[in-house]
Amino acid sequence: MDTQIRVIYCLCDDFLKSQHHQEDVQTRLSDAEVLTTALVAMLYFGGNFEKARLLLKSQRYMPGMLSRSRYNRRLHRAKHLLPQLFFILAETWKALNEENIYLVDSFPVPVCDNIRIIRSRRYQGELYRGYIASKRRYFYGIRIHLLVTRAGQPLEFFLTPGSASDIAELPGFRLDLPEGAWLFADKASTNYQLEDSMLEAGIRFLPYRKKNSKRPLPPWWVYLQHHYRKMIETTGSLFERLLPRSIHAVTQQGFELKIVLFILALSFSYLL
């Protein structure tokens, strides 16, 4: 863990320096240390900031560690840096993806058990009740829509209420992919008009075909779909492995901040 913590800190510090980030000279804990603490919590402590904070202070990684409440305030002030850091990592993964193959899918993140929906304070309303087709069960929470490389490195993501469908939210991706890219998706993303638009932009979009599809695919493309589909499922498994059984957050903003940090930690995990 010692080496991983140092790598995370160095990357965060170099990122802030490249952005010409300015801090108060009287700051006890730098923003690089704030981000490092959050990522260590996501990677090794299931999102528990307190455990990460105590470890980094007791092991003298960060002698100037702040109290629990002050650290939380600092993290929320620095949350605008997270999308920029994610974007830089995403551009790195995109440049290393020589095969030019990408995958898109969504993953449910329950905010509470179904039996506790009535008492939920972070999210309220039927908008957040979604269905997991693979498990044949409902959940209450949000969905993560994720675009990854063939190796599973995340490139783009956004959050929607649990009831959102993949096909309706697919235009939410920027899809800033190089010309000639292959993009695979599941049956829920079938949209012939979108396929034609992407093809004009130089991107071949290949969702799974339904049995009654008007555009059946050649057998060799179907084989490729089955082969690369395993990659996105592996990414989902790695992401779920980072998540605890229950994400502790008092507010909706705090819950979504932790989700963003978990996705960023997933991207960092490919460096460690």
Enumerate the domain spans of the chain. Answer: 2-77, 84-251
Fold of the domain built from segment(s) 84-251: Nucleotidyltransferase; domain 5 (3.30.420)
Amino acid (1-letter code) at residue 213 = S
User: What would the pLDDT profile of 179-220 be if each residue is shown by its tens digit?
Assistant: 899 998 876 667 778 888 888 888 988 887 777 777 777 777
Whether pTM exceeds 0.85: yes
197/182 Cα distance (integer angstroms): 14
User: What would the pLDDT profile of 39-96 be if each residue is shown by its tens digit?
Assistant: 999 999 999 999 999 999 999 999 999 999 999 999 999 999 999 999 999 999 999 9
- Residue 114: which of 104, 128, 100, 98 has the closest Cα? 128
Token digits for 131?
């269905």
Rounded to 5°, angle at Cα 211 from 209 and 212: 100
Q: Cβ(154)–Cβ(266) under 8 Å?
A: yes
Q: Cβ(145)–Cβ(158) under 8 Å?
A: yes
CB atoms within 10 A of CB 78: 18
Query: What percent of the chain clears pLDDT 70, i.e. is strictly above it?
Result: 99
DSSP letter assigned to residue 210: P
